[in-house]
């Protein structure tokens, strides 16, 4: 059973559009929610992350929105560019005293058309 | 500073063969882990280690063994490969000390693409 559910599986937007990727979780013990970006042939790399006591975090064109009561969080990419084309993974971390393991969502393949 | 190095990059095995995927890091990270990436399934944790001599199971440990004799190395062993183990395997590390590593990011290698026929 997938503990972190991510949607959509794939997404195509035009340059300048605002793709939105959504994630949902059930385990209230998760204490940290990062997003990773992966380019073809490479390993994922940390993009942006949020703690559950914060409702929004922005870093450049990337924004995480977090809804603790709904147990959902999402990634928004403002003014998307072709260079943003990649696979995006949301993740959730089990509490540190539970091992601090990162559980990933299924991934979203984003394509930004010129 | 190479970061996380995985070898080999590609491997083809026949069902029943054994092999070891290598992972080495030069960042002195206490935490090391193995994930597999499959289409539609995302990244799933196989095994992890919080320090030399300490290992534990992740979400999908069956069919895989690990050991951690040094801080730098964390090999993943397939004792009898099966077609269901065809996947891309990633090694990932991070600092684990709570005072410095509470929210430290995972650093991934570039993966090993394994095909089992």
CB contact under 8 A, A103 and B59: yes
Whole-angstrom distance, CA of residue A60 vs CA of residue B57 = 37
What tens digit of pLDDT does each residue of A25-47 get?
A: 998 888 899 999 999 999 999 99
Question: Model confidence at A94, in pLDDT bands (50, 70, 90)?
Answer: confident
What tens digit of pLDDT does each residue of A15-27 get?
A: 999 999 999 999 8
User: Are the beta carbons of A87 and A104 closer than 8 angstroms?
Assistant: no
User: Are the beta carbons of A33 and A66 closer than 8 angstroms?
Assistant: yes
Distances in Å between the Cα of B109 and the Cα atoms of A114, B39, B59, B85, B88 are: 30, 19, 20, 19, 11
Residues of A with CB under 8 A from a CB of B: 2, 4, 6, 9, 32, 34, 36, 41-46, 49, 51, 89, 96, 99-107
CA distance B43 to chain A (A): 6
CB contact under 8 A, A43 and B43: no
What tens digit of pLDDT does each residue of B56-99 get?
A: 999 999 999 999 999 999 999 999 999 999 999 999 998 865 54
Whole-angstrom distance, CA of residue A62 vs CA of residue A78 = 6
CB contact under 8 A, A42 and B103: no
Predicted local distance difference test score (pLDDT) of residue A1: 60
User: Are the beta carbons of B66 and B76 closer than 8 angstroms?
Assistant: yes
């Amino acid at each position: 059973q997938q503990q972190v559910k991510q949607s959509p599986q794939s997404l195509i937007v035009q340059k300048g559009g605002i793709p939105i990727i959504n994630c949902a979780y059930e385990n209230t013990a998760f204490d940290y929610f990062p997003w990773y970006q992966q380019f073809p042939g490479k390993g994922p790399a940390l993009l942006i992350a949020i703690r559950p006591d914060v409702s929004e975090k922005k870093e450049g064109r990337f924004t995480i929105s977090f809804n603790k009561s709904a147990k959902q969080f999402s990634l928004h990419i403002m003014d998307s560019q072709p260079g943003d084309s990649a696979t995006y993974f949301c993740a959730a971390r089990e509490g540190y005293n539970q091992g601090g393991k990162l559980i990933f969502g299924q991934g979203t393949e984003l394509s930004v058309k010129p | 500073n190479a970061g996380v190095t995985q070898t080999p990059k590609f491997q083809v095995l026949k069902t029943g063969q054994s092999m070891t995927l290598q992972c080495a890091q030069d960042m002195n990270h206490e935490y090391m882990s193995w994930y597999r990436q499959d289409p539609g399934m995302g990244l799933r944790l196989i095994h992890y280690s919080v320090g030399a001599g300490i290992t534990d199971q992740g979400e999908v440990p069956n069919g895989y063994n690990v050991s951690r004799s040094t801080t730098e190395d964390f090999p993943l062993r397939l004792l009898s490969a099966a077609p269901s183990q065809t996947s891309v395997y990633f090694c990932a590390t991070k600092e684990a000390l709570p005072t410095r590593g509470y929210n430290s990011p995972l650093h991934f290698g570039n993966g090993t693409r394994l095909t089992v026929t």
